Chains A and B, each alone.
Chain A
């Protein structure tokens, strides 16, 4: 069988304006793990070899480049590794369904403040926290990956729209930072 090359939605492009960098991040395999009724124990057992535990609401954990991200009630995304054998959960491959945008820089929060109806400043949104909310009107999963780093997961079908929205906000923040009052 020929080797097929997975292409990302945005060709891994990146853009820097006013000290904020927007880049498409490559996440690797994304697997949804939805716990079935009374399946929590089996899922915990299945995740043990990876050194990960099922995340609490609004949390994600990371170990050796593998992430497990809370995405809903009894649901999490395992990102960056092929899924282990899991009992007690509905496991579905989501790898090509999502696009990840990494927004980094001191003013990243100012850019996203124009798009996201949540307080994303570090005090309200610390590292290792995840939110399911909206970017403009697109449903998104937003991860705080570092002090000045945020990752946004949107449906792949909305990748270019999301890019456009963030880019526009970056241009506005850049323009404003040039104004002397």
Chain B
């Protein structure tokens, strides 16, 4: 598996650290109901198909990446910088 880091280009999977689902980018606001926090922390989809998750380019540019990939075909649809998304 190779990821195309927007800054560093095509890199081997071993340069990256896996964090988890995209859900971690959507932290509930302060005072949100418990069900929302429960969802944020524990409830994950496990799709056979398109999945978005977070990877860290620890052996390269030290950026968090949002990777859209397909768990069935192993196709990597896109790799975005989390930092650029927030702008």
Contacts and interface: CB of A to CB of B under 8 A. Distances in A.
Interface of A: 57-58, 72-73, 117-118, 131-134, 139
Contacts of B41: none
Nearest to B81: A73
B14 A132 contact: no
Interface stretch (B27-35, B47-55, B60-68): B60-68
A131 B8 contact: yes
Interface residues of B, number: 15
Contacts of A58: 7-9
B43 interface: no
Given A58-B9, A131-B8, A73 B15 contact: no
A164 B45 CA distance: 47
A117 B14 contact: yes
Given A73-B81, A117-B12, A117-B14, A139 B59 contact: yes
